[in-house]
């Protein structure tokens, strides 16, 4: 058992790393005849929905008094996220991966990440943007609001929706990883051959072994999603892979929240975790009747056999290999004696017409098949990119159309409201004018009445009239 040091303030504490016992989840003995391995999921430490619902209700009451979530500020923030696309959705069937004799499904089971990696289903793009527009860190917790419902991204939420536990270390906080991790040596150990390591050259996913390439793919595309070039494993990617392969428990919710916070404060990054956020929407029973829904199919988004083939990896017997490692170029090379004899014959026959064309080294049929397969893979990949671009552009056009209609509706509403206000002001002004006119006429009439009373006194009467005793 290895040791690791964790800094706590100015005091250092040495403790053993957190490990878990791996259930024989994917063992052959646990497999039913003709079926898939049974999966054992731990549900301890999970809270019921009713408990989480009560905390959400309390958060909603607190959010109503928070000026950060005023409608005006929400609309202002949301406008900055219009047009922002989501990262490409991926999910995996780890049971199938285990049946292919890969080791990383067992490692992810030990991490408690199986449920999160297999999350799938429809996505609500507008609500995902609203999630990031209202995302913030306050009082030691991460919060967001969707459709007026304020909620905390708590340990319970990650456990209930994604099956992820917060027990573990941040990948940069584990003392044992800090002490033993060397990026260059770790990268070399992950390669499919020592000849692929060149000092000073950039890292390449294509140089990783099949096992490590798929492990890296699931981390970079699903668990700790990023916007940078996936063709080059980063030092952070290697650190995650190193921790997983050495059974060091990682606090995945903490790492995911770091990514979410970084995206929420960015002006241009793609929006990750749309599958997880959409499952949170459903878990919180948020109304989705008036929002756009996107369905995803296994054909285009499942990390399975089709995608693995696009990486140039195929199954030969019971082993998955890079096609270029399996295919050999069959070139017929003559021995030195044959070459010498041929040269002599050519020398004696110099100047005479040759009876046959010169022989050239021939490629094997396997090599030609490999070239054809690579060409097909490249065409499939380009077609998939065009298809993804088409769907993304279509989604953006729909969003712009909805935004245009919303804008037109808002303008019409403002125009009607302005007309009503103008009419009300006109009516009030008219009433006030009529009231003023009536008051003026009433005063004139009063003066006339008082004047008539004065004229009724006889001219020969004494003025003022004598008082009567």
DSSP per residue, 152-200 = E--HHHHHHHH-----SB-TTT-HHHHHH--HHHHHHHHBS-GGG--TT
Does residue 426 sit in helix, strand or coil?
helix
CA atoms of 230 and 218, how far apart (whole Å): 11
* pLDDT of the residue at 213: 96
**Token pair in block for residue 35:** 């079926």
Does residue 439 sit in helix, strand or coil?
helix
To which residue do tokens 């997983």 refer? 244
DSSP 200-261: TPPP-GGGB-HHHHHHHHHIIIIIS--SS-TTS--HHHHHHHHHHHTT--B-HHHHHHHHHH
CB-based burial label for 343 (10 Å; 0-12, 13-18, 19+):
exposed
For residue 145, the surrounding DSSP H or E stretch is: strand 141-146
Contact 123, 89 (CB under 8 A): yes
Positive or negative, the CA dihedral 142, 146, 150, 154 is negative
Contact 147, 153 (CB under 8 A): no
Summarised one tens digit per residue, pLDDT across range 211-238 is 999 999 999 999 999 887 888 999 999 9
* pLDDT of the residue at 32: 37
* pLDDT of the residue at 334: 44
* pLDDT of the residue at 390: 72
Segments of the chain with pLDDT less than 50 = 1-56, 328-337, 340, 343-345, 347-363, 469
């Amino acid at each position: 058992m290895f040791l690791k040091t964790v800094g706590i303030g100015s005091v250092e504490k040495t403790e053993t790393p957190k490990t878990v016992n791996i259930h024989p989840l994917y063992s052959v003995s646990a497999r039913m005849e003709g079926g898939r391995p049974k999966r054992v999921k731990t549900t301890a430490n999970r809270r019921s929905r009713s408990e989480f619902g009560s905390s959400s209700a309390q958060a909603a009451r607190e959010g109503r008094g928070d000026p950060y979530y005023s409608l005006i500020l929400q609309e202002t923030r949301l406008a900055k996220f219009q047009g922002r696309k989501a990262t490409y959705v991926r999910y995996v069937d780890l049971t199938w991966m285990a049946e292919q004799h890969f080791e990383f499904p067992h490692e992810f089971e030990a991490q408690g990440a199986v449920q999160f990696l297999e999350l799938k289903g429809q996505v609500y793009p507008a609500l995902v943007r609203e999630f990031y527009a209202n995302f913030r860190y306050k009082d030691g917790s991460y919060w967001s609001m969707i459709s007026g419902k304020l909620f905390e991204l708590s340990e319970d939420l990650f456990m209930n929706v994604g099956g992820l536990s917060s027990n573990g270390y941040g990948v940069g906080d584990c003392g044992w990883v800090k002490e033993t991790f060397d990026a260059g040596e770790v990268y070399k150990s992950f390669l499919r051959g020592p000849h692929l390591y060149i000092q000073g050259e950039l890292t390449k996913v294509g140089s990783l072994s099949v096992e490590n390439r798929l492990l890296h793919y699931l981390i970079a595309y699903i668990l700790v999603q990023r916007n940078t070039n996936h063709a080059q494993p980063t030092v952070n990617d290697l650190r995650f892979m190193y921790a997983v392969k050495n059974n060091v428990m990682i606090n995945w919710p903490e790492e995911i929240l770091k990514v979410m916070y970084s995206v929420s404060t960015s002006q241009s990054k793609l929006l990750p975790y749309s599958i997880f956020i959409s499952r949170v929407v459903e878990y919180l029973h948020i109304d989705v009747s008036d929002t756009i829904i996107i369905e995803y199919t296994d054909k285009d988004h499942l990390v399975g056999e089709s995608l693995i083939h696009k990486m140039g990896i195929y199954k030969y017997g019971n082993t998955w290999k890079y096609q270029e490692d399996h295919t050999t170029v069959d070139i017929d090379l003559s021995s030195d004696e044959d070459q010498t004899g041929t040269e002599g014959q050519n020398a004696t026959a110099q100047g005479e017409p040759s009876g046959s064309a010169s022989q050239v080294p021939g490629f094997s049929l396997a090599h030609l098949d490999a070239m054809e397969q690579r060409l097909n893979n490249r065409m499939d990949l380009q077609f998939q990119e065009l298809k993804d671009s088409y769907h993304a552009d279509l989604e953006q056009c729909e969003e712009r159309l909805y935004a245009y209609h919303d804008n037109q509706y808002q303008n019409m509403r403002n125009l009607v409201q302005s007309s009503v206000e103008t009419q009300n002001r006109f009516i009030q002004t008219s009433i006030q004018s009529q009231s003023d006119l009536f008051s003026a006429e009433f005063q004139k009439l009063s003066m006339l009445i008082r004047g008539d009373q004065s004229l009724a006194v006889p001219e020969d009467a004494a003025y003022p009239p004598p008082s009567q005793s």
